[in-house]
A and B are shown apart, each in its own frame.
Chain A
């Protein structure tokens, strides 16, 4: 169980490469959510990618170069709030492994200790309390495997949703099962990945929820791509955008 610090006055915001490229609005919305908590949000412009594509493909050396460059961008002792469980897992968990035994291991560990996924930060550090201003809605959520098993934060995303009075949460069958993305896995083993995302979309649609949310753009890229391919009406949105819209932000 992780021990959380008191709410800080400033945080670094790590948007992730996928949000930067595919859903910048989710980034803006997450910044607003944090600002609503009375926190000054620092966006370091030089941030790029956490290095996970190289790491999960077996290129530790290249991943480490990228990791070092990202760590160097966040020198102050402020929390780094990451907009994805998967990138959060990379920066909180796997950076430690990459630098294990190196001369700067202690420095890297200190950085890793400062990394938080957005929903765990809102719930466990900010103790955010949300007031639902939206209409009745039926929602299903997909939690990434990294959020669930590396960051152990699947409950915090649910806790945020549960604060919304007009939102009914539906649970899909095989909820904890992977959507089949896994970065380069999806293209190295396309047939297995396909069988996984087809099952996942089927279970999501079977809930008859009208909205799909997830706090991970990796999974959304996969799930939304499959839903669009299947001509399904359901589309996933980032949890940050959903929460902000429900609480009357913007």
Chain B
């Protein structure tokens, strides 16, 4: 089965394909779907509560976040060196390392490996980077079938759908909808809303597939430079199956996932699991340091590591936006985002939805396509407050808004889609605002006029009044009142 180009919001509104350029339309459709909104609100509430419990000690939370931030910043500060060290240690361990500048190169690398082994079946553990390069779709074109083995990804794939959350891909579905999906696609399935039964169904259908697959593909949570070790965090055990049963294992990851020392892993792992699912530790934690060694009874004969750039270098080159790459993909920012909670993950039209998606996607796809995403935030800061590596997401959004509206300056290199949201009308309005706000006499004449025409304020003020009454200025401004009282003048 391959992923289809056709995706749907849960209410059956088909927009083909979902894309960030159609964000407004997609968000509107999602907002109009009460079931979808209920699914997300319920799931996000659950995840927020889990995180809160996992961080019930505020001092400990602060410590873990500070530590994780410091580790990520240190590793990013020496990223080029660490990548070289990782490559060299992986090679010494027998892991073959490949570099991909973009999705096309990454797919080509994987296709070459597959074709060398005459592979027809790839079984996949969870990997958002594989979504980023649309691996399933590209492999299908070559007659290679990719099967998702993460339960959420499996459900989503059955529907020809895409993940709506980076940790919980099928979170947009409730148990009834999962049962409906199984009923539509699986033979001999008796509909049920018993969650354990649903999971057992998925697991039993997948079991044999691990044996049949030619290649296992996985993501990477942390790639350790000093030892050449690939770390994989998971709960279902499918990740371990993918990386041990087939003869070939391909791991794919973004270049930012490298950490310097093995000792960097435990704090980041703890920050990740607590933030993502509220767990102190996951059920499985895999550390892969080589293919099967002489005398070992299991494990793949070949291990490949594909390191993908795909726009990350652009973020890396800018000191402020480099913080975007601190991300350890826990999903806490989306769980706490009031926008994500209401529109869900598909509406963004990007592989990475929610707050982190808004700040990483512009580097991958350019601001021209993603300019509506960077404005789709009230800058409430709920994301930054919970980020385990303390990415100042609202500041990144602020910065990207500025880049979308203005040409590059000497201070920063031009970024993809620079000034693509520039508007002469809006620029004129902002220049006028700045002129008035820096010329008090003109500014106060303006506010005085507003109080004079307050009775004439139209009751319809575009988008504002679609759910609100028009605001009415007071009959006198504070400036006027204080002037009249003659007591506070000091100018």
Q: Is the CB of A189 within 8 A of B375?
A: yes
Name A186's contact: one of B24, B382, B400, B463 (CB within 8 Å). B463
- Interface segment, one of A43-51, A123-131, A163-171: A43-51
Question: Does any Cβ of A come within 8 Å of B437's Cβ?
Answer: yes
Asked if residues B478 and A145 are in contact (CB atoms below 8 Å), the reply is no
Chain A residue numbers with a CB within 8 Å of B437 are 48-49, 51, 65-66, 69
Closest residue of B by beta carbon distance from A68: B438
Shortest C-beta distance, A45 to chain B (Å), equals 4
Instruction: Using A57-B426, A58-B404, A188-B375 as known contacts, say yes or no to A225 and B27 having CB atoms under 8 A apart.
Output: no
Which residues of B, 434-491, contact A by the 8 Å Cβ criterion?
434, 436-438, 440, 443-444, 447, 450-451, 462-474, 476-483, 488-491
Complex CA distance for A158 and B309, rounded to whole angstroms: 48
- For residue B343, CB closer than 8 A to chain A, the reply is yes
Count class of interface residues, chain A:
35 or more
Q: Which of the residues A20, A31, A43, A225 comes within 8 Å of B490, measured between beta carbons?
A: A43
Q: In whole angstroms, how far apart are the Cα atoms of A44 and B437 in the complex?
A: 14
- Answer yes or no: B227 CB below 8 A from chain A CBs: no
Task: Determine the distance from Cα of A101 to Cα of B412 in the docked complex, in whole angstroms.
Answer: 13
Contact, CB under 8 Å: A197 / B379: no
Q: Contact at B488–A41, with CB atoms within 8 Å? A: yes
Question: If A55-B398, A190-B466 touch, does A182 touch B378 (CB 8 Å cutoff)?
Answer: yes
Flag whether A139 is at the interface (Cβ < 8 A).
no
Q: Which single member of B339, B380, B400, B478 contacts A24 (CB below 8 Å)?
A: B478
Selected from A19, A43, A145, the residue in CB contact (under 8 A) with B488 is A43
Q: Which residues of A contact B402 (CB under 8 A)?
A: 58-60
Partner among A27, A55, A194 whose Cβ is within 8 Å of the Cβ of B466: A194
Tell me the complex Cα distance, A54–B438, Å: 13
Given A22-B471, A22-B473, check contact A185 B377 (CB 8 Å). yes
- How distant is the Cα of A226 from the Cα of B463 in the complex, in angstroms? 13
Is A119 located at the chain interface by the 8 A CB criterion?
no
Q: Which residue of B lies closest to A42 (CB)?
A: B490
Q: Mark A176-198, 1 if CB is under 8 A from B, else 0.
A: 11101111111111111111111
Least Cβ–Cβ distance between B289 and chain A, in angstroms: 41
Evaluate contact between B380 and A48: CB separation under 8 angstroms: no
Interface size on B, residues (CB 8 A): 70
Q: A61: CB under 8 A from chain B?
A: yes
Q: How far is the CA of A173 from the CA of B476 in the complex (A)?
A: 36
Q: Among the listed B27, B406, B438, B488, which residue makes an inter-chain contact with A69, where contact means beta carbons less than 8 Å apart?
A: B438
In the complex, the answer to whether B489 meets A19 with C-beta atoms within 8 Å is no
Chain A residues, CB < 8 A from B379: 56, 145, 182-183, 185
- On whether the beta carbons of B31 and A191 are closer than 8 Å, the reply is yes
Identify B31's interface contact among A15, A47, A178, A195, CB under 8 A.
A195
Taken together as a complex, chains A and B put the C-alpha atoms of A222 and B461 apart, in Å, by 13
Q: Does B405 contact A (CB under 8 A)?
A: yes
Q: Which of B206-232 contact A (CB under 8 A)?
A: none
Please, which residues of chain B bring their CB within 8 A of the CB of A162? Answer: none
Any A CB within 8 A of the CB of B384: yes
Judge whether A136 is part of the interface by a CB distance below 8 angstroms: no
Residue with the highest number of chain A CB atoms closer than 10 Å, among B376, B426, B471: B471
B395, CB-defined interface residue at 8 Å: yes
A62, B474: Cβ atoms closer than 8 Å: no
Contact B470 A225 (CB under 8 A): yes
* A190 adjacent to B463 (CB under 8 Å): yes
CA distance A60 to B411 in the complex (A): 13
Given contacts A24-B476, A58-B402, contact A221 B471 (CB under 8 A): yes
Q: Does A23 have its Cβ within 8 Å of any Cβ on chain B?
A: yes
Give Cα distance in the complex from A156 to B436, angstroms: 34
9 shortest interchain CB distances as A-B pairs: A182-B378, A225-B468, A58-B401, A190-B463, A178-B380, A24-B478, A62-B434, A149-B381, A145-B380
18 A-B contacts (beta carbon < 8 Å): A15-B478, A21-B447, A22-B471, A24-B474, A24-B478, A24-B480, A45-B491, A46-B491, A48-B444, A57-B401, A58-B398, A58-B421, A61-B406, A145-B380, A146-B381, A149-B380, A190-B467, A225-B470
Query: Which A residues have a C-beta under 8 Å from some C-beta of B?
Result: 13, 15, 17, 19-25, 27-28, 31, 41-49, 51, 53-63, 65-66, 68-69, 94, 97, 101, 145-146, 148-150, 176-178, 180-198, 221-222, 225-226, 228-229
